[in-house]
Structure 1
Amino acid sequence: MLPENKAAPPFGEDGTGAPSQSGPGRALACPSVDNVVARADGGLARIRVPGGRIGAAALQTVADAAQRWGSGIVEITSRANLQLRGIRPGAAAALAAALVGSGVSGGPFADRRRNVLLGPLGDLDPDAEDIGPLLAPLLAALDAEPRLDGLDDKFGFAIDGGGSFGLAGRRAAVVAAPTSTSGVMGVCWGWAADGEEGSSARPRRVARSELVDALVEAAVGSLGRPRASATVPAASSAAAVRVAGPLGAGAGWVGAMPTLGRADAKAITAMAAAASRYSDGLLRLTPWRGVVFPAVAADERAALLDDIKAAGLVVDASDPASTVVACAGSRGCTSGLTDAIGDAHRIIAARRESGAPPAPVHVSGCAKCCAQHTPLAVTLVGSGPDRYDVYADGDLRARAVPSAEAVPVAAGS
């Protein structure tokens, strides 16, 4: 039994633990296509996918690039972006040229502006407001505003439509969410003083027809301010923050996820092929590190599920893998003190073997907790070589527990 020792978990302000960096000539804090960052397993490149909307051809380009210039591993991030791991020395320029030239990446300034998170279902969820049609005009308006070349590279929007898989609890510099008044959105941003119009405490009410202009105005207003975050509110007081994304077959969609959000190029190719065959070549990445195939005919959903399950993806919401989150740990990150990926796989395997239901578990290789910025039922935080501090629902229960002991604790949660 772990002793109770309450303390706040060491989650970073935006889930990265990285300091704020802004201003002309700053060093970029985030990996990107034009800023491949050295990690323990090679270079790390992040491709921003606005709204998580990506076509099959673009996804295949990513798979090809991962194999040609990297380790072949592709990650889906908590902002529904993509990361390529293991970029080889001297390959960064060729990688960037290929991704920008193919249109998969908009290049450094466009990518910095286009950090837009949307809910994955939208028009596929009768209980959600469809925000998807706002994406194209928003991107066009952001591209047309030259002042936004100076955006902090961690700046981002979260635009929520509510519904079964809304973005409640997600953070961004600027947040927009439905209000109780039809056609009116609440827009808030993290840098305003408490109670000031526009802050998290008192969102500015904006007609949906004016939302794009309001979001661009908020982005411009962020320039030169310290980076901070607002939080997407729940659509109702009864709404809960979801730990797992859409999986299995829904009304017009099929959802899946690679275990821990990590897939090899072969699995990414299978996803692209499945989208071409079943969903008009369209996919939506989710902030739960998964993917939704939209507009799938009812008589083809079972075949699609079979295809992506054969590729190794999780398609069952009752699978314990659906709620386990882990960072790269010591296998991929110079900050990692523990084998977070290996330990997470061991937790999943143990829970599957015992028939245990899904439980929210986060395994972090160090105190930055990059993979998850809110406490889960169990959080293991690397505190030394092969040792974890163990948290339960955000409360510290034990320090420096050997991995061999911490894994069974999380597996039995």
Structure 2
Amino acid sequence: MLAAMPQPPSAVSRDEPVIRDRGDACPGALRLHAADDGFLARIRIPGGILGADAARLLADAADRLGDGHIDLTSRGNAQLRGLGASCGGELAAVLERAGLLPAPGHERVRNVVASPLTGLDGRGRADVAPWVARLDRELCAEPAAAALSGRFLFAVDDGRGDVLSLSADANVLACGGGQALLWLGPGGPDSRAARVAADDAPRAAVAAALCFLDAARAAGTRAWRVAELPPEHRPDAAGLAARLAAAGIPAEVVPLDAPQGPGGPEPLPGVVRGTSGGPAALSVLAPLGRLDTAQWRLLAGLSGRMRLTPWRGVVVPGLAAGAADSALAALARAGLATAPDSPWRSVTACTGRPGCAKALADVRADARAVAARATGPLPVHWSGCERRCGHPRGTAWVDLVATGDGYAVTLAAAGTAGPAHRTVKTSELAAVLADARRTDACRTPSHDAAKK
């Protein structure tokens, strides 16, 4: 038995400011990232909202230029892998035809997550999908916003509290009565927020991002995100409200209202019934966040609309209520996770081999071999090396880190360290995970999203 591993970097809150000594190298659609399996392109899709024509063009690009797959990220974006070194111009042309490239200089800053079921199930305080479209237009029209890093995140929550769990930098929360709350950083620095009219919320979110940029310049630390700022430089609600007033946006400082809604956080796989017998939606998960283009085209063809979720899933809105069950069955036959008890709800993995040079194992293949035989309510994250990229947030998880001759295994429950095995052979993992599932610690689930 060993002491449990420390919290991964993605799950630890920062107590000290971060001093950046270089610019942000986050990949984009135009700035490709070199990986062991070719180049990688990350396409920002604000709110995850995608039409069928754009989705089909993306699938064509994956087949013709990449490896025939589309990866979903924990920010509701899409990635193409296996791209050739000289395909950048052709890919850009495809994305421009699809409407997925904004004004030059802004394509990497369109990091916007939104409640995936907003306007579909009647449970939010407002339908924030139109807010996302306006926020994207305002963001791309603001020249100064191009200075944001590719990691700065906007969250637009319809009141149910789902995307507020993602530790965004600029948070917009619908609060009913034609109003919205706005704050910078996870939870706000002083548990207060600026209250604005809902019609002003998209423009206010962009003004909040510019407020962050000013604070980052004043701090001199080249911070990429709000949590990286020194505490004395983090804009509070009063400072944000003053900034909004200067931009012509009336704002009032109020206590930060806790979300009130059905809980979650993420949409469960299955049929999502509309209100008053209206159209239904489907919610599915992509195992390990990866879709082949046949699965992708099947999803795109169901209703002509898709919403990629920050939990590496897809919501398909606008289906006739009577057709939803048969469509869901077709997606299950295609290999997607369609039931709330799917083992894939609690399994995540980094890229691993062959895509990452640092990985010591093909973690996705190992996860697929084990997942159906040994899963439980705790998230299980598979890492190809000690960097543990994409690790779930929270304090309850099972950690598998490739060592070259097996996996180091750590079980951590909420606030309590469980048993850790220094090295377990791959053939023994199913039994180890099944044992972890039976422990008392595994009875407290934590499905917080991974940060990418």
SS state at 2:165 partner: coil
Paired residue for 1:390?
A: 410
For 1:214, the equivalent position in structure 2 comes to 204
1:323 maps onto 2:346 in alignment: yes
- Residue identity opposite 1:334 in structure 2: A
State the alpha-carbon separation in 1 of the partners of residues 92 and 147 from structure 2.
21
Please tell me whether the aligned partners of residues 190 and 199 of structure 1 are also in contact (alpha carbons under 8 angstroms): yes
Partner of 1:282: 305
Measure, in 1, the Cα distance between the counterparts of 2:12 and 2:49: 23
Amino acid at match of 1:291: V
2:271 maps to 1:273: no
What CA deviation, in whole Å up to 9, does each residue of 1:47-93 have, x standing for no partner? 10011100111111111101111111211111110011111232233
Change in 2 beyond 3 A, CA 1:383/1:347: closer
Q: Please state whether the residue corresponding to 1:86 is helix, strand or coil.
A: strand
The aligned counterpart of 2:172 is: 176
Which residue of structure 2 lines up, in the alignment, with residue 255 of structure 1?
283
Contact 1:319 1:357 in 2 (8 A): no
1:308 to 307, 331, 335: 331
Aligned-pair CA distance for 1:365: 2.2
Equivalence for 1:144: 141
Matched, 1:132 2:140: no
Out of 165-174 and 60-69, give the one that drifted further: 165-174
- Aligned-partner Cα distance in 1 for 2:135–2:341: 37
Q: Deviations for 1:248-268, whole angstroms, at most 9, x for unmatched residues?
A: 111121111221110112211
SS of equivalent to 2:123: coil
- Secondary structure at the aligned position of 1:169 is classed as helix
Corresponding residue SS for 1:390: strand
Give me the whole-angstrom Cα distance separating, in 2, the residues matched to 1:411 and 1:321.
Answer: 15
Aligned to 1:190: 185
Aligned counterpart, 2:65: 69
**In the alignment, structure 1 residue 369 sits paired with structure 2 residue 388:** yes
List gaps (5 residues or longer) in structure 2: 217-222, 228-255, 274-279, 438-452
Percent identity of equivalent pairs: 33
State the distance in 2 between where 1:240 and 1:69 align.
40
Task: Report the TM-score, using the length of structure 2 for normalisation.
Answer: 0.77
Alignment of 1:19-168 (within 5 A): 27-106=23-102, 109-129=105-125, 130-163=127-160, 166-168=162-164
Report how far residue 210 of structure 1 moved.
2.4
Q: 2-side partners of 1:350 and 1:376: how far apart?
A: 24
Q: Which runs of 5+ in 1 are unaligned?
A: none
Residue 376 of structure 1 and its aligned partner are, at CA, apart by 6.2
2:53 maps to a residue whose letter is: A
- Matched length: 387
Q: For the residues of structure 2 that align with 1:51 and 1:170, how far apart are their CA atoms?
A: 13
TM-score w.r.t. the length of structure 1 is 0.84
State the 1:111 CA deviation.
1.9
1:14–1:373: 8 Å Cα contact kept in structure 2?
Answer: no
1:393–1:347 Cα change, 3 Å: farther
- Secondary structure in 1 matching 2:119: helix
Contact 1:321 1:358 in 2 (8 A): no
| Deviation of 1:283 (Å) | 0.9
Match of 1:235 among 225, 240, 259: 259
| RMSD of aligned alpha carbons | 3.0
2:236 paired residue number? none
Q: Name the structure 1 match of 2:372.
A: 349
Q: Distance in 2 between matches of 1:273 and 1:112?
A: 28
